[in-house]
Amino acid sequence: MKPVYLFLSIFIVLFSCKKESTKPEVKEELIMYEASEMTVLMRDIYEFNKALKVRIEEKKELLEYPNEFFKINTAKLTNPDYRNAEFDSLATIFLENQRASFSPNTDSLVINYNKSIKACIECHKTRCTGPLPKIKKLMIH
């Protein structure tokens, strides 16, 4: 196998909805995998929050709120059944708390940030459970 494919498959296994496994079925994963709009958005959301967590913890200047997060309301999903009334209300809670955790210098910054991560966890409990362990690591204790 070419190293680039090995790298790709490791990447896919680490980030996909499926439970992380140490022995990926490399070929099938590569052929079947096509990232949905939501998957692409979620990867951005994850990276942003990872960076945001460090900035909050180190009391650095915060990042600007990425308006593209609103796409959570419309982005195409791999499984369209995931989007229902519960999804929409969790998405709204997520967006509200995320916005609050990008506002600088409020006493409740950490609380708002953790609330937004809890909204990720709440939605991921029933949809796309694979990334839950790494989402939980985003909480500030």
Contact between 15 and ligand HEC by CB under 6 A: the answer reads yes
Q: Does 123 bind ligand HEC (CB under 6 A)?
A: yes
Q: CA geometry: angle at 118 spanning 17 and 9, to 5°?
A: 20
Locate 104 and state its tokens: 């600088």
Work out whether 9 is an interface residue with ligand HEC (CB under 6 A).
Answer: no
Q: Among 39, 97, 101, 114, which residue sits at the site for ligand HEC (rule: CB under 6 A)?
A: 39
Nearest alpha carbon to residue 87 among 140, 116, 126: 126
Distance between CA 18 and CA 11 in Å, rounded? 12
Tell me the CA distances in angstroms from 53 to 8, 11, 73, 98, 109, one per residue in order: 27, 22, 24, 12, 11
CB of 33 to ligand HEC, least distance (A): 9
Q: Would you count residue 26 as binding ligand HEC (CB under 6 A)? A: no
Q: Residue 67: is it exposed, middle or buried by C-beta count within 10 angstroms (0-12/13-18/19+)?
A: exposed
Q: Which of 8, 26, 62, 77 binds ligand HEC (CB under 6 A)?
A: 77
| Residue 101 binds ligand HEC (CB under 6 A) | no
127 binds ligand HEC (CB under 6 A): yes
Structure tokens at 79: 């499984």
Which of the ranges 14-22, 51-59, 60-68, 102-110 carries the binding residues for ligand HEC, by CB under 6 A?
14-22
Residue ranges in contact with ligand HEC by CB under 6 A: 15-17, 36, 38-39, 42-43, 45-46, 49, 77-78, 82, 87, 90-91, 94, 117, 119-120, 123-124, 127-128, 131, 135, 138
